[in-house]
């Protein structure tokens, strides 16, 4: 498991898995999209608008997962002095921002026909909007400091402070009355989704993870190389 903390090992590992990940992302995405658009049934309430969920839900999960990963690596970087944590932070932030943006846009597209509005300021939507802005601030911070050592540590501190938002996003639908529906799939209870819709959702989730991994591997490798050559 050294590739999780060591740039050299990561490079070797990345070379090893990159092609399989790329291929599986393409395959999973095509299967997932076919499932989502043609093979999955219409919902009893929403009709075929439910298909937006196959993009919306995975992107939302990945937006949160990306931030959680950044939080873990920030702790690793600050408390255990593992510089690879900072590399991950810089490389992964834009990916998370894009996932959050996809989540927001697809959510709005679903909300207009279903709820009757593009956007409301309930707890879930507000906290996701804040998550998006936090991602943007991280990206801007990465661009605006001259000194690399200061920059990466300050960004890590900011990531840690901003991680307060993470449980708020996740649990806002349980803690407060929101227009957004509560979680469909949780560990504790039986999912309230039919298997014929669950399968495409899972496939799409893995497809999103694979695409995220492809971009992340590329970005992390560039980051490692540019650090080695002291470009930044």
- Work out how close the CB of 219 gets to another protein at its nearest, in angstroms, rounded to a whole number: 21
Measured from the CB atom, the residue of 5 and 114 that comes closer to another protein is 114
Measured from the CB atom, the residue of 23 and 150 that comes closer to another protein is 150
Q: Which residues contact 220 (CB under 8 A, 6 or more apart)?
A: 10, 14, 87, 88, 91, 92
- Work out how close the CB of 187 gets to another protein at its nearest, in angstroms, rounded to a whole number: 14
Eight-state DSSP code of residue 47: B
- Work out how close the CB of 178 gets to another protein at its nearest, in angstroms, rounded to a whole number: 5
Measured from the CB atom, the residue of 27 and 149 that comes closer to another protein is 149
Measured from the CB atom, the residue of 1 and 228 that comes closer to another protein is 228
**Angle, in degrees to the nearest 10, between helices 53-79 and 84-114:** 160
- Work out how close the CB of 154 gets to another protein at its nearest, in angstroms, rounded to a whole number: 5
Distance CA 15, CA 2 (A): 15
Going from the C-alpha of 3 to that of each of 197, 208, 217, the distances in angstroms are 36, 22, 12
- Contact positions toward another protein, by CB under 8 A? 41-47, 49-50, 53, 78, 113-117, 120-123, 126, 130, 133-134, 137, 140-141, 143-151, 153-154, 157-158, 160-161, 164, 175-179, 181-184, 192-194, 196-197, 230
3-state secondary structure of 43: strand
- Closest C-alpha among 216, 212, 205, 208 to residue 14: 216
């Amino acid at each position: 498991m050294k590739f999780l903390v060591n740039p050299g090992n990561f490079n070797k590992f990345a070379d090893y898995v990159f092609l399989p990940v790329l291929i599986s992302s393409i395959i999973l995405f095509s299967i997932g999209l076919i499932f989502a658009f043609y093979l999955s049934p219409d919902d009893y309430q929403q009709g075929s608008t439910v298909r937006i969920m196959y993009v919306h839900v995975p992107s939302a999960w990945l937006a949160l997962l990306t931030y959680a990963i950044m939080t873990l690596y920030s702790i690793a970087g600050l408390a255990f002095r593992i510089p690879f944590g900072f590399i991950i932070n810089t490389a992964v932030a834009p990916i998370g921002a894009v996932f959050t943006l996809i989540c927001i846009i697809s959510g709005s597209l679903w909300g207009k026909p279903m709820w009757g509005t593009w956007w409301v300021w309930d707890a879930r939507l507000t906290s996701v909007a804040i998550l998006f802005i936090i991602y943007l601030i991280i990206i801007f911070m990465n661009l605006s400091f001259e000194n690399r050592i200061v920059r990466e540590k300050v960004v890590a501190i900011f990531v840690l402070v901003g991680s307060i938002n993470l449980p708020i996003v996740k649990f806002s639908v349980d803690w407060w009355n929101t227009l957004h529906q509560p979680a469909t799939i949780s560990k504790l209870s039986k999912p309230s989704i039919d298997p014929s819709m669950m399968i495409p959702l899972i496939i799409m989730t893995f497809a999103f993870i694979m695409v995220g991994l492809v971009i992340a591997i590329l970005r992390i490798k560039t980051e490692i190389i540019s650090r080695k050559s002291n470009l930044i």
